[in-house]
Structure formats: structure tokens, C-alpha cells
Amino acid sequence: MVLLGLIILNLAFFGLNLNDFFLSDDFDWLTIAKSEEYSLSDYFSANYYGERGDGGSYRPMVNVIFWLNYNLFSLNPLGYHIVNLFFHIGVCFLVYLLALALFEKLKNKNKIAILAAAFFAILPNHSEAVIWIAAVGDPLATFFYLLAFYLYLLFRQKQNFSALLVSIASFIIVLLIKEIAITLPLLIVVWELYQAISKNKFKARNLVLYPLGYWLLVIGYFFIRYSAIGLVFGYYARESFKIDFNAVFKMIAALISNLFFYGQTRVFLIDYFSDHKIFFVLLIILLAALILYACRRYFYKAAFLIDAYLILILPVIFLAFNNLNDEGERYNYLPSVAFVILLSLLIWQMPENKIFKKPSIDPLTWLPPSLLLRRTGRMTARAVVIGVLIIYFAVNLFNKDYNWHLASSLSKKIVQQDAPQVLDLGRENYFVALPDNLDGAPLLRNGLVLGINLFYPELEFKAKVLNVYQCLTRQNYQEKILYWGAYPTGGWIAETFDKKNRVTGFDRQETDQYIFELWNYDYPTYTSNTIRLIFKNKEGNFIPAGKEDFNIIIFDQGSLKSLAK
């Protein structure tokens, strides 16, 4: 019944997006899956492009899942979304099972577990991981990560050695999906430590011998990873391990804030916390202390869940959210498992505290709060808190899901309708100021040319995408954002209609064919309000606007258009 309920709940919230079109990195993965240049086994000894020792990311099982999806569903996005949603529902059910295992002796463990699974299903920061096809690695990795940990708990609690073997097999799979897997041995050690402290039975072998096999697999993984891509700790966007403490602090603040706050509220909070670091640290310490006090009857359970969240965010604290929206919240997908279980425990514990208990004296002679608490009772207090959270999460989740739906509709229109009409097959084409994202849902920062090739393989054209894009919102994606005009010394200039920074990309780029600059560039957010675009002839001279012998294609008012027209 629990699994059926989770299926219905997830379909209710994500059904809107099941037919959503491909976006951005999706086209890259589809092209890799379609390619016959490398065999599937090659990706186990190379990066996801099949290139050995050339950097990138080592995630061979993501290549496998895309290969399977492509061979089953081809270019029908429905099948890909069903796979993402299947693993998300599986993760929700594992959250339920994991909560049962963690609270095995609690009277209300089933209710806490159901609540945790339901919260996980509707947590707004999961839209990116569930809806974005290219992010399938997150629900996939989280599924096998939780399965490995849950089966380890089953082994320790019931001495089920079959569970241990399947746990190890699941851990091997998750190592081949995503780097977040490397935290599992540490999570096991911390769980063993709290178990020993709570039972006052400290045994060194529990901390060393039981997790040893997992540690050895992590060491082996690093050797294989280095052999495949030539990196130990780096990844496709950063090929060396460097610590920027300000950036790490900002990412930790972003991750924690993203558990409860979304959109511009979260962006505002991150900016504030970045300027008031001590205040943020003290606030987190205070919140942790209050949570531990509220859950003092289950102090070690609550403490473990807080530590678990901190452990689970370790692999992503060197990455970053988008500074203008919630893009990047998939990094919180696995860590939010600890959050929802802790939140459910806290909610169930609140009415057990003295302040919520029935007063021993006649409340009519005392303060109204006492009377209110007596009348509402424990169950009502819980129901109110749960109801408010469900409404808050649901409204924000639907809002995010709709942004992704709009972004996918726009991507489909651009790839399948606009591009074939606006491309000039006889000349070279330059794409400029394509849509980067729509309120955090990535659009065509990557993949447009690949997408055209996938859906129109018969078209033979030359095209280049310049690394300058527009940031869209639900309000402006069909409106005119940039005004293009000729610049006196040659080339073009484009300014945002309201002078706000709605352009993103590199601040400057120059080649033998063109120069573009983003003026009034804001480096913290990588945004600007003006594009200066110059094309050069063979002699290196600037070409007057409109005199180019190639096709310049821009995004304007919801469509692709030729700039010359």
C-alpha cells in the first residue's frame, strides 16, 4: 500500500512533465548513445565520451542507462521520463524502508517512515533530478546508494549475510554511476559509532572491520577512475582539486537553504549569508541544538541524521548553484534523504514535548495558549504542521515543474520548428544569444546543433554557437529582451530593454572570424546587459552590420530569427 501510494503521489506531481521534450545536455547524451564509435564496454575504461585519459567524468553506468533508453525509446522523451520517475519512486520507497530500519524500536516508526517518504516525493528541490533527463544519474545513484546502506543495516540488525552481499554489489554499481558513492563507508562508520555510544558497547571491529570492504572498493574505484580519465578528484569542469573557502561556504549555505527556500528567496538568503558568515554559522548551530533538544529522547538518532546530511553533501561542496536561480539543486537530491527523515522525526516528537501535553490544571483559569493546546491536542498539532508543510512543498514543486514544462515546450519549438526554417543550408550559420535557462530550467546552453542533427539527420549545414545566452523567466520568454542595432564602427550591439542583466556567458571571446564582448559584466553572477558583436573579414577588418555573407541567428520573442531580417 505504501508503494502504491507513492506511485500515485508522484504521478500527481510529475505527470505534467512525462511528455516534456529534451533540454540542453540531453542532446549530448542522446548523441553519445546513438554513436557507434565506441562499444558499451569502452565506457568502463574511459570518460563518458569514450576518451581515455582525457579528463571528463567517469560514470559508465550513466552511459549504460542512456544506451538502453535510446535503444528502447529512440527520440521519444516519454520513455526517458518514465525511467527517471521509476527510480525516483524507488528512492521514495527506500526512504520509507530506511526510516523503518533506523527507527526499528520506535513505536511510531511506520508513521514516521511514511511521512518521510511522502516529504521526499514532493520536496521542491527534486524537480531538476526527476524531470531533467540528463540528470538521471542522481535518482539512479541515490537508489543504489540507499539500497546499499539499507541492506547493510539489515545485515547488522539481523545478521543476514545475503543482504551484505547485495549491499556490496549495489555499492559497486553506485560507484560506477556517480562520485557521491564514495561517502558510503564514512556514513557506515558514523552509524556504527552512534550505535556503539547509544548501547554503551564500543567495539573497534565494528568501526574498522565491517566497513573495511567498502573502503577497499573506494580505493579500487580511484585507481580505475584515474586509469580511465587521468583524474583522481577532478571532473569535467575542474581538472584539479582546489579549495576556495568562500565558494565552499557559499555552496554549503546554498544547500542548507535550498531544503526550505527556493527561487529568489533562496538567492537573497545566500547573498545575505555570504556577507554574514558568522551569523549563518551561529544560526545553524542554534537550529541543530534546538532539533537535538526537541528530539532528546532519540538524541543519537537525530544526531546521526544531522551528521549524515553533512557527510552526504561532502562530494558536492566544491561545486556551485546558479547565482540567479535554483539551477544545481540536484546536488541536494541524495542529502535531502537525511533531511526528510529528520524532519519527520522532529514533527512526530514535537507533541511529545511538555509544552504540548495536556495541562494538569483547569486551562479555563489560565492563559489562552494552554486552552488552545488542550483543545487541539497532539494529533491536531501534528496535522497542522504536516498540512502546512505539504501545502508549502506542493505549491513550490508545482511551480518548478511548470517552469520545466515551459522550458521543454520552448526547446521543442526551437529544435523541431524554428531551426529547420531559419537555417541557411548554403551559408555558415552563427547562433547568438540563445536561451540559457527559464527560471532555472536549462534550455539550450548546450546541444542545439546536436538536437537538430538528431531530429533532422538529412539536413547538411554548417553552424557555430557563440557562448553568449539570454536568461529567461516565465514572464519574459515570449517578449523582446534584446534590442539589436548597428554599431558605428562596425558590427552589432544589443542592449536589454530594461537595462537589467539578462545576458550570460563569457565576458569576451575572440577568434579569426568574430569578437564578442559582454559590457557592464557582473562577474559574481556572470551576467551583463549589453552584447557587442563584431564579425571580421579575411583581412581582419570589421564587417558592417548587415553586410555579412553568413547567417546570424538570434532568439527573439520566443522564436529563432535571422538577425539580418
pLDDT digit string, tens, across residues 94-109: 999 999 999 988 888 9
pLDDT of residue 363: 41
Question: Residue 177 pLDDT more than 80?
Answer: yes
Alpha-carbon distances of 69 from 81, 136, 218, rounded to whole Å: 10, 11, 28
**Number of C-beta neighbours around residue 485 at 10 A:** 9
**DSSP of 209-232:** HHHHHHHHHHHHHHHHHHHHHS-S
Confidence at residue 26, expressed as pLDDT on a 0 to 100 scale:
96
The reported pLDDT for the residue numbered 114 is 96
Looking at residue 235, its pLDDT comes to: 56
Helix, coil or strand: residue 390: helix
pLDDT recorded at residue 355: 44
What does DSSP say about strands 551-556 and 428-432: parallel, antiparallel, or unpaired?
parallel
The Cα diameter of the chain in Å comes to 94
Residue 390 exposed, middle or buried by CB count within 10 Å (0-12, 13-18, 19+): middle
Phi/psi for 187 (5° steps) reads -60, -40
Q: What is the mean pLDDT of residues 244-268?
A: 91
Gap between the Cα atoms of 118 and 6, Å rounded: 7
How high is the pLDDT of residue 564? 78
Buried b (16+ CB within 10 A) or exposed e, 430-446: bbbbbbbbbbbbbbbbb
Looking at the DSSP assignment, which residues form a beta bridge with residue 235? 238
Give the C-alpha separation, 226 to 492, whole Å. 46
Q: Do 328 and 272 contact (CB within 8 A), yes or no?
A: no
Mean pLDDT on 444-469: 94
Residue 482, Cβ neighbours under 10 Å: how many? 20
- In this prediction, residue 375 has a pLDDT band, given cuts at 50, 70 and 90, of very low
Please write the tens of the pLDDT for every residue from 384-409. Answer: 889 999 999 999 999 999 999 999 99
Confidence of residue 199 (pLDDT cuts 50, 70, 90): confident
Q: What is the pLDDT of residue 41?
A: 86
Q: Which of 68, 63, 92 is nearest to 80 (CA)?
A: 68
CB 505 within 8 A of CB 481: no
Going by DSSP bridges, is the β-strand pair 468-472/503-505 parallel, antiparallel, or unpaired? antiparallel
CA atoms of 212 and 318, how far apart (whole Å): 27
Quote the CA–CA distance of 170 and 147 in Å, as a whole number. 7
* pLDDT tier, 285 (very low <50, low <70, confident <90, very high otherwise): very high
Q: What letter represents residue 229's amino acid?
A: I
pLDDT tier for residue 413 given thresholds of 50, 70 and 90: very high
Residue 79 grid cell: 520513455
pLDDT (0 to 100) of residue 367: 42
> Which of 47-56, 272-281, 342-351 holds the top average pLDDT?
272-281
| Mean pLDDT of the residues in the chain | 90
pLDDT at 236 over 50: no
- Nearest in space to 137 (alpha carbons), one of 201, 84, 79, 204: 84
Question: pLDDT band at residue 27, thresholds of 50, 70 and 90?
Answer: very high
pLDDT band at 377 (very low <50, low <70, confident <90, very high): low
Residue 287 has pLDDT above 70, yes or no: yes
In tens, the pLDDT along 211-224 reads 999 999 999 999 99
Nearest to 340 by CA among 1, 6, 16: 6
In sequence order, the 6+-apart residues with CB closer than 8 A to the CB of 495 are 482, 483, 529, 530, 531
The distance in angstroms from the start CA to the end CA of the chain is: 60
Q: According to the model, what pLDDT value does residue 201 have?
A: 77
User: If you average pLDDT over residues 494-500, what whole number do you get?
Assistant: 93
**How confident is the model over 434-446, as a mean pLDDT?**
94
pLDDT surpassing 50 at residue 360:
no
More confident residue, 26 or 201: 26
The neighbouring-strand residues paired with 292 are: none
Q: Which residue has the higher pLDDT, 200 or 129?
A: 129
Inform me whether the pLDDT recorded for 341 exceeds 90.
yes
The predicted model gives 246-252 an average pLDDT of 92
**Distance, CA of 269 to CA of 256 (rounded, Å):** 11
pLDDT at 371: 45
Cα separation, 44 vs 173, whole angstroms: 12
Task: Report the alpha-carbon distance of residue 44 to residue 60 in Å, rounded.
Answer: 5
